[in-house]
Amino acid sequence: MPFEWVTLCYIGRMLLDSQLVPETVVRPRSFVGLMALYESNYLRLLQLVPELERLDGCFRSKVAGECELFVEIIERCRYTITLSLTYHFETDDGRLADPDIKVRAYLDGRLAEAMSLAGDHQHAELRKLVRKNRRELDARWRRNVILNKWLEYLSDQGHLILER
């Protein structure tokens, strides 16, 4: 087969693929949307902590001009790892961890869920997000959107957690 014909066939298939309608529509604040968000969180977490399954203890990542990131493995089970992600700020009242996010990674399902956000955030936008909704699905959605965006930001800044 000539090269040009193979290339045109491939381009034609790509154009057809772009017209496919997905079988599942993911709506924000739906259960399916939440599971898609958990999957995205897991992939972003692996960008930040590529050796997640092997690490244990406390780790730091420092990028020039950015806050130092603190990661602590809190609990390790056969199929899950629970960890915290935070920055530490020095204030007049002592050290402040913010945002202080506890994350559970489900290794077998390749999902990561924000389990909790620390109660009183010092940043107005985080406080507004925490108070906005109280229902469980909304709360989980909110926590995990924050985790997803923060993991993206940390990766963009160049943070990387590796074994010592």
pLDDT at 129 (0 to 100):
55
Coil vs helix vs strand at 13: helix
Kindly list the distances between the CA atom of residue 61 and the CA atoms of 10, 31, 133, 160, in Å, as whole numbers in the listed order. Answer: 43, 33, 32, 6
Question: Is residue 11 pLDDT above 50, yes or no?
Answer: no
The whole-angstrom separation of Cα 24 and Cα 1 is 37
- Which of 162, 157, 164, 163 minimizes the C-alpha distance to 87? 157
Question: Is residue 116 pLDDT above 50, yes or no?
Answer: yes
* pLDDT top residue among 127 and 101: 101
**Span of 36-45, 81-90, 139-148 with lowest mean pLDDT:** 139-148
Q: What are 47-101's pLDDT values in tens digits?
A: 999 999 999 999 999 989 888 899 999 999 999 999 999 988 777 877 777 788 9
* pLDDT top residue among 45 and 19: 45
pLDDT at 66 (0 to 100):
84
Cβ–Cβ < 8 Å for 47, 33? no
For residue 157, the tally of other CB atoms under 10 A from its CB is 15
The whole-angstrom separation of Cα 109 and Cα 121 is 31
**Span of 82-86, 111-115, 121-125, 160-164 with lowest mean pLDDT:** 121-125
Strand ranges inside 16-133, DSSP E:
58-61, 69-76, 80-91, 94-97, 101-106, 111-117
The whole-angstrom separation of Cα 56 and Cα 21 is 43
